[in-house]
Chains A and B, each alone.
Chain A
Amino acid sequence: MAILDVSDLKQYFYLEPTFLAKLVGGKKPRIIKAVDGMSFSLEAGEILGLAGESGCGKSTCCLAIAKLREPTGGTIRYKENDIAEMSKEELRKYRREVQLIFQDPYESLNPRYTVFDLVAEPLRALTDKNKAEVRERTLETIAMAGLEPDEYKNRYPHQMSGGERQRVGIAQALVLEPNLVIADEPLSMLDVSIRAGILDLIRDLSERMNFSCIYVSHDLSILSNISERLMIMYLGRIMELGITKEVITEPLHPYAQALIAAVPIPDPAYTRPIPKIKGEVAQPIDPPPGCRFQTRCLQVMDICRGTEPPLKEVKPGHAVACHLY
């Protein structure tokens, strides 16, 4: 059973022209289609990777799922309930079960809280556990995140390294035993030598606590390591979705092919192919009809300029939005 079912999710932002431009030029508001018709589902216990260049709508999609922003259109169903129609009580439960891990462990922790308070806060806010239970659960979670509770519980964020802080961020997300964790670039601020440890931690805990995870990153080498399925986005739409290994080794969409070809390999003997792509990333403002990728695609056909290709399954479990298939 899918734990999360997103269907035709849309998130638009409106750029209002200035008063004068409206008066003189009769300009209409322009629309930024940050997320424009995304449909996917997430199985229980699965880690889904979400990749794409900056500005493609990865984070916007996450915010909508976490219900931190009202989507313009589409539905998000969590365990078959539409999150837009949840009652206050249901929503409280939803907030408990869906947690975020943030990008920047230097900014996302309250500098005035100790590690214990940081991790205990969600319990105090969203559960009715008593003091002893909160204490027990908090210390347990700190230990689970790989920090020695006695050593770390009284520390403040500034007394810890980036990797330790990110572990606190993970403990905060997991202390409520969530069913769905959204991790938005949790490694991008960390050094290489400690990244692997955090990746292991997320993977181990996802197995142990059986939560599902949407792992957002622009770094395909990290996603190829942690995610079971991989979703590649371009300007607000899903271009390709499939088993990670299959997407990485045999990408179908011309965009996915270019993106994967551009990833540098830590091996001096390797000569990288030149990615087959042209131009610069476009803005998602008033996109042209047809395929989003048409302006950069080297295999563009007439149909691409008029008809938006739907995301369709071309191999079992491997879907692509391209007229070539």
Chain B
Amino acid sequence: MILEIENLKTHYQTEQGVVKANDGITLAVGENEVVGLAGESGCGKSTLIRTIIRLVPKSAHVTADKMNFKGQDILAMPEKDFREKILWQGIGLVPQSAMNALNPVYRVGDQCIEAIQAHTDFSKAECEQIVKRLFDAVGLQAGMMKAYPHEFSGGMRQRSMIAMSLVLNPDLVIMDEPTTGLDVLVQERILRNIKEIRKMSESSVSILLITHDISVIAEMSDRIGIMYAGRLMEFAESMELFNEPYHPYTLGLKNAFPSIQALDRELISIPGSPPSLLGDLPGCLFAFRCPFVIPECEQERPPDLEIKPGHFVHCIRTDHVEEFRKLAGDKKTWQSSTSAT
């Protein structure tokens, strides 16, 4: 396993109380594997990334039973070691809206080279070779290394950020919404680049891909996690998650997502909106929007049940899944549950 996280909690102390942005996340990323995390805004996706690479503010309270990167405990590791040994060389990051993450007054190539030189003793020529190879991999001409960010289109900037995240050959690259805000043709190109990079790299590279776009997740990931309100609702292999979903939220999301392959399918939304993460809510956090809720749901936090090997579900009513799957396709099921959005 490249990355192992068990029962990760990131809580923020605010004036109104404790905000549980991540509350008991357990997941693992294997070697040469793409794990996709999907979820709506405010579900804690970005907090999870920031927690892993230690970009959460000092006021955040982070605890975990386990947080290992290649067997090393990265939670207990001193800040300096983490920055020098793990970041860039171990874990690369493609930040959200990477389009704006480049420094406008430096040439793009130089920004990549700077990252290499900060961590290694390679000569300038060696660095240039590395960057050139990666630019090639993401479909940018070597000449573009001399260009400034404003000369790049949005898609090109995004691709150069992906190249930059790979300069030190990390074992894991975390991508936060890598194609959000880009046009479909540009998005397609970037997704293809990511796949090509995985094929070409001499040592394997794992990817933790975070996005709200389930289509992108479905296309890219080996395993998928569905996040909601700071918790992981379901985690399974992609095919299994799509073909045999257990959690009502997963069922709902599947119904709500349009596809040009299914033109006649009726879309069904999930009424209501996610709960505030402030304070102590005892039960399942999806209970307020769940059409299959029973009183027990609101009393105790559901366990992360391993339904089948590697398939985890955060729900106490998994024994009724056949019935849920049947009912979830009916619009009335969802309308009756709560008041309208």
Q: Which residues of A contact B (CB under 8 A)?
A: 53-54, 146-148, 161-164, 167, 191-200, 218-222, 224-225, 244-245, 248-249, 258-270, 272, 274-275, 277, 280-281
Contact = CB atoms under 8 A, between A and B. Distances in A.
Contact of B261 (A270, A274, A281): A270
Which among A193, A225, A263 has the highest number of chain B CB atoms within 10 Å?
A193
B239 to A, nearest CB: 5
B219 A268 contact: yes
Given A192-B253, A194-B269, A264-B216, A167 B185 contact: no
A260 B215 CA distance: 14
A193 B258 CA distance: 11
A194 B270 contact: yes
A264 B341 contact: no
B214 A266 contact: yes
A267 B259 contact: yes
B178 interface: no
B73 interface: no
A-B complex: 7 closest residue pairs judged by Cβ atoms: A197-B269, A264-B215, A196-B267, A196-B269, A262-B188, A268-B238, A221-B258
Given A264-B216, A266-B259, A268-B242, 10 more contacts: A194-B256, A195-B256, A196-B255, A218-B183, A219-B184, A263-B215, A267-B242, A274-B192, A280-B155, A280-B156
A207 to B, nearest CB: 15
Interface string B200-229: 000000000000111110110100000000
B260 A281 contact: no
Given A259-B185, A262-B184, A193 B263 contact: no
B213 A197 contact: no
17 contacts: A164-B273, A191-B212, A194-B256, A194-B273, A197-B269, A197-B271, A200-B269, A219-B258, A220-B260, A259-B184, A263-B215, A264-B215, A264-B219, A268-B219, A268-B238, A277-B185, A280-B186
B261 A267 contact: yes
A50 B269 CA distance: 23
A195 B182 CA distance: 19
A264 B187 CA distance: 9
B257 interface: yes
A53 B267 CA distance: 24
A117 to B, nearest CB: 21
B273 A163 contact: yes
A279 B156 CA distance: 11
Contacts of B257: 192, 221, 266
Interface in B250-300: 252-261, 263, 267-271, 273
Nearest to A220: B260
A224 B263 contact: yes
B191 interface: yes
Contacts of B258: 195-196, 219, 221-222, 224-225
A251 to B, nearest CB: 11
Given A224-B263, A264-B213, A264-B218, A193 B153 contact: no
Nearest to A145: B340
Contacts of A262: 184-185, 187-188
Contact of A272 (B219, B256, B263): B219
Contacts of B215: 221, 263-266
Given A195-B256, A266-B218, A161 B341 contact: yes
A258 B189 CA distance: 12
A237 B183 CA distance: 18
B59 interface: no
A275 B218 contact: no
A200 B185 contact: no
A194 B341 CA distance: 8
B339 interface: yes
Given A262-B184, A268-B238, A280-B153, A146 B340 contact: yes
